[in-house]
Chain A
Amino acid sequence: MISDTVVELSRWQFAVTSLYHFLFVPLTIGLSVILAIMESTYVMTGREIYKDMTQFWGKLFGINFALGVTTGLTMEFQFGMNWSYFSHYVGDVFGAPLAIEGLMAFFMESTFVGLFFFGWDKLSKGQHLTITWLVALGSNLSALWILVANGWMQNPVGAEFNYETMRMEVTSFGELIFNPAAQVKFVHTVAAGYTTASAFVLGISAYYMLKGRDIAFAQRSYTIAAGFGLAAVLSVIVLGDESGYTDGEVQKAKLAAIEAEWHTEEPPAAFTVIGLPDQDAMVTHHAIKIPWVLGLIGTRSTDTPIIGLTEIMQNNRQRIHNGIKAYSLLQQLRNGERDETLIAEFESIKKDLGYGLLLKQYTDKVVDATDEQIEMAVKNSIPQVAPLFWAFRVMVASGFIMLIVFVIAFISSSIRKCRKDWILKLSLYTMILPWIACETGWFVAEFGRQPWAIAEVLPTFLSVSSLSEWDIILSLAGYVFLYTIFLLIEMFLMMKYIRQGPSSLHKRRYHFEIDERG
C-alpha cells in the first residue's frame, strides 16, 4: 500500500520545484521576444542606443536564464525519480512531446544563447539578429511542447489503455498536438510570459526615469514595454483559459470548483465575485453574485448549463462503479485470460478504469471496495474548492490591475505631457503582479486537476515512485535549501545590475560613467 505521506511529500516537492522554475520561465519567454524587438529596431534604424538596450536587458535576461535552466533540469529528472509509475503508465504519450521539445526547441535555444551573448563581434548585424530571433523562437516553441504535454494531462485525448502493456498508448498524434486544452494553454501561458517581461522592463525603466538617469534609454525601453505589454495582457485576458475549461470532464470540475458552483444552476449561471466556500456543507457563505456572467463566459451561450460539483460527483460515483468492473476484468486479462467476450467487455468500459483506480487510495482490493470507501473516493473526486476559488480571484485581479496599468503606461508613453511621477511609481510597483498571477495561475491549473495526475486516467496517488518518506524529505530539503540560496544570489545580482543600469555595459556614455568622467 502506498503511504499517504509519500504522496503528499512528492506533491509538495513537485509543487515547490515547479513553482520555483516558473519564477524564471515566463520572464525568459517574454524577454527573449522583447530583446528580439529591440534588436530589430537597432538593425532597422542603425541607432546604437537600441543595441545598448538589447545588451543591457540581455544581461538581465542572462541572469534569469541561468536559473531557468538550472531549475528546468530538475523537472526533466523528477518525473522518473519521483513519479516512476506515472512515467511507466503514460511515458508512451507524455514522453513524446517532452522529447520533441528537446530536439526542436531546447537544443536551438541553448546552442544559440551563447552566440547571443558572445557573438556580437563575430557575426554580421543580420546574423546576430537572426540568432536573437531563434533564441526567442526556441523558448516559445519550448513552451508549446511542454504545454502539449501538460494539456494532455488535463484532457487526455488521442490515447488509450493497453491491457497487455498496462499503460496508456498513443492512438493519434494529431489529436495530441491539436488538443484544444493544449492550444489554449499555450496561448495563455506565452502571453502571460510577454506580460511578465513587459512589466519587468516597464518597472525598471520607470525606476531610472524616477531617478532621472539615462532618460533616453529608459524612455525607449518604457515605450516598447508599454506597447508590447498592453497587447500581451489583453491577449492573456481575452484568449484566457476560460474557453478551454469545458474540454474534458476534469476541466468541468475545475471550472465548477473555481466558481464554487456547488449545484448546476438554471443557465446562464451567475458569477460569484467573492464569498466563503464551504466544502463540507457545499455552499458558499456571504456570496456576492452577478447574474448571467459565468454562464456567458463559461459557455459563450445563454442556454448551456454549467455543470455543478454535486452533479459531477453523482456522475463520478457511477463511473467509479464502472471502474471497479473494469479493474476486475483487467485482473483476469493480466492473469493471461484472452477470452474474446472478456476483451470486448473490457474495451467497452475501460474508459472508466481510472475511476476504479481512485479506490486504490482507500483499499488495495479495488474489486471488494466497501460502500464507505466508494463514498470517500466520490467525495475526493473533485478538487478542494476554497484554495482554487481564491487563487483564481487573485490571478484575475492581478490581470485586471495590470491591464489598467498598461493602458495608462501606453497613453503616457505616447503623449509626453502625461508622464507623471505617480504613473512611473505605479509602473514600478506593478512589477510584482505578473509573478503573483503566473504562480497562482499554475496553481489553479494543476491543483484544479486533482485528484488526477492524468485526468480520468491516472490518480495522482498512484503515480508516485516506491520511495520512503525519508528519501523525499531529504531531497525536498535539499531542493528548498539550494533553490533558496540560488534565488537570493540571483536577486542580489539582478538588483546590482539594475542599479548600475546601462552603465554596466561600460560604453562610457551612461549615467555612472559620465559622472566618473566628471
Chain B
Amino acid sequence: MLFDYETLKIIWWAFLGVLMIGFAITGGFDLGVAVLLPFLGKTDEERRVIINAVGPTWEGNQVWFVMSGGALFAAWPTAYAVSFSSFYFALLLALFALFLRPLGFDYRSKLPNPEWRANWDRALFVGGFVPALVLGIAFGNLLKGIPFHFETDMRIVYFGNLLGLLNPFSLLAGLISLSMFIMHGAIYLQIKTVDNINQRAQKIAVIFTVVTLALFALAGGWICFLDGYHITSEIFPNAVANPLAKFVKKGPGLWLDNYGHLPALWAVPASAFIGGLMVLVLSIINRPGSAFVFSCLMITSIILTAGCSMFPFIIPSSISLNSSLTVWDSSSSLKTLNLMFWVTVIFLPLIMLYTSWVFRVFRGKVTVEHIHKNNHTLY
C-alpha cells in the first residue's frame, strides 16, 4: 500500500473535488447552453446550431456527474446515504429534469414537426435550468448543515423537508451555480458559433460573468455571519469510520477558520475573481478560447472555495452536531480506498486523454450551412 489511511482519505476528498469540478467545467457548459437555447436561438436552424454545438460531446460530459455520485458511494458511502436520502425531493426534481436531456437531444430533430421541436426545446431548457439551480442549492445546504442524526444501528433519520432546503443562503448558492453555468455555456457558444448567435452569446457571457462575481462576493460576505462548524475534540485521522466519536461546535464565521490557519488559502477565492475579470476582458475582445480557460479557472475556484471552507467537514449535521460527517470518519475502509485509488489513477488520465481527443475531432464552428448539409444526421 503506497499511502496510509489518513492520506488516502485526503486523496479521496480531492478526487471527489476533481470529479465535481470535471462535471462543472464540461457538463456545466452543456447545462448553460440548454438554458440559453430558447433565448439565443431565434429560428429552428439557429437552435439546431446551438444543440449541435454540444451534441456530440454532452453525453460523455454528463458522466462526470454520474461518476461524482458513484465515487461518493464507493469512497464516502455514509455521506452518499445521508445526502441522497436527505435531499430526496430536490434530487428527484433534478433527476426528472435530467431525464429530459438524453431524450431532448436525441429525439428533437428526429421529426420535422415544429410543435414537436418546440416542446423538446422547452424540455431541454428545463433539463438545463433545474439541475443547474438544484445542484447549487444542495451545495448551499451542505454549508448550512443538514438536519439529520443517527439512530441505533447507524440508521439515518432526517428531520428536514423540501421547503427547509429552500432557505435564502442556499437559494443564493443555487443562483451562483445557475449563473456560472450560463456564463460558461455562453462562452462555449461564443467559441462554437458565428454571426448572430456568437454576438448574442458574447453579451450573455459578459452579463453573467458580472452577475456570478457579484453573487459570489455576496455569498462570501454572508459566510462571515453564517454558522460554520468546527471539531472540538482530538482528531484521529487514521481511525476507522465512526462518525459518532467526536465533538463538534457550531458558530458564526467558523467556516473562515481554515483561512485563518492557512492564509495562503485566500488565493482560492481570489483566483475566482481574477478568473472572472479575465473572462470579461477576453470575452469582450473576442478571444473566447482563452476566456473559456479562465472561466474553467473561475468555476474551479468557486467550488474549491466551498470545499476549503468546509474541510474537513463533508456533511455537517445541524441538529446533532456530533453526527456530522467529516473526511476523517465517513470514508470507506482502507482497502476500498486503496483499490479505488489505483483504479482512478489508471482510468482518470485515460478518460481525460480520450475525452480531449473527442473534443479535438469535433473542434471548429457549427454553422447553419453545416446543419443544412447534414440535415438528416445531426441533432
Contact = CB atoms under 8 A, between A and B. Distances in A.
Interface of A: 62-63, 65-67, 69-70, 73-74, 76-77, 79-82, 84-85, 87-96, 98-104, 106-108, 110-115, 117-120, 122-123, 162, 164-167, 169-171, 173, 334, 465-467, 471, 474-475, 478, 482, 486, 489, 493, 496-497, 504-506
A91 B99 contact: no
A99 B71 contact: yes
Contacts of A100: 340, 343
Contact of A69 (B73, B102, B376): B102
A152 B153 CA distance: 22
B336 A84 contact: no
Contacts of A497: 110
Given A118-B377, A167-B154, A111 B358 contact: yes
A92 B58 CA distance: 30
B60 A114 contact: yes
Contact of A471 (B66, B75, B88, B332): B88
B335 interface: yes
Contacts of B89: 471, 474-475
Given A63-B106, A114-B56, A162-B333, A77 B81 contact: no
B155 A81 contact: no
17 contacts: A70-B102, A76-B66, A76-B73, A77-B91, A91-B332, A95-B70, A95-B75, A95-B80, A102-B66, A103-B348, A106-B67, A107-B347, A115-B358, A162-B333, A165-B241, A467-B88, A489-B103
A99 B340 contact: yes
Centre residue among A106, A114, A162 by max chain B CB count within 10 A = A114
Given A96-B336, A100-B343, A504-B376, 20 more contacts: A73-B98, A80-B83, A80-B85, A81-B84, A91-B77, A91-B80, A95-B80, A95-B336, A96-B339, A103-B348, A103-B351, A115-B358, A115-B361, A119-B361, A162-B333, A167-B77, A334-B152, A465-B88, A478-B96, A493-B111
B126 interface: no
Contacts of B57: 111, 114
Contact of B103 (A66, A162, A466): A66
A70 B103 contact: yes
A208 B291 CA distance: 53
B70 A99 contact: yes
A66 B105 CA distance: 9
A122 B359 CA distance: 12
Given A80-B85, A84-B81, A95-B74, A110 B60 contact: yes
B95 interface: yes
Contacts of A110: 59-60, 62-63
Given A98-B74, A101-B70, A486-B103, A475 B88 contact: yes
Contacts of A111: 57, 59-60, 63, 351, 354-355, 358
Contacts of A505: 376
Interface of B: 55-60, 62-63, 66-67, 69-71, 73-75, 77-78, 80-85, 88-89, 91-92, 95-96, 98-99, 102-103, 105-107, 110-111, 152-158, 240-242, 332-333, 335-336, 339-340, 343-344, 347-348, 351, 354-355, 358, 361-362, 375-378
Contacts of B91: 77, 81
Q: For chain B, what secondary structure do more than half of its interface residues adopt (helix, strand, loop), or is it mixed?
A: helix
Contact of B73 (A91, A113, A165): A91
Contact of B69 (A77, A84, A167): A77
B20 to A, nearest CB: 14
B66 A88 contact: no
Centre residue among A73, A467, A493 by max chain B CB count within 10 A = A73
The 7 A-B residue pairs with the shortest CB-CB distance, nearest first, are: A91-B77, A80-B84, A111-B60, A95-B74, A114-B56, A99-B74, A84-B85
A81 B55 CA distance: 30
B377 A107 contact: no
Contacts of A486: 99, 103
B173 to A, nearest CB: 21
Contact of A489 (B78, B107, B154, B351): B107
Contacts of B154: 85, 88-89, 166-167
B95 A77 contact: yes
Contacts of A81: 84-85, 88, 91-92
A302 B78 CA distance: 48
B77 A95 contact: yes
B102 A66 contact: yes
A104 B91 CA distance: 25
B377 to A, nearest CB: 7
B319 to A, nearest CB: 14
Contacts of B56: 114-115, 117-119
Contacts of B83: 80
A165 B69 CA distance: 22
A159 to B, nearest CB: 10
A466 B78 contact: no
Contacts of B85: 80-82, 84, 465-467
B191 to A, nearest CB: 17
Centre residue among A84, A108, A478, A506 by max chain B CB count within 10 A = A84
Given A69-B102, A164-B240, A169 B335 contact: yes
A76 B69 contact: yes
A84 B84 contact: yes
B277 to A, nearest CB: 33
A506 B376 contact: yes
Contacts of A95: 70, 73-75, 77, 80, 332, 336
A254 B153 CA distance: 29
A108 B105 CA distance: 19
B96 A164 contact: no
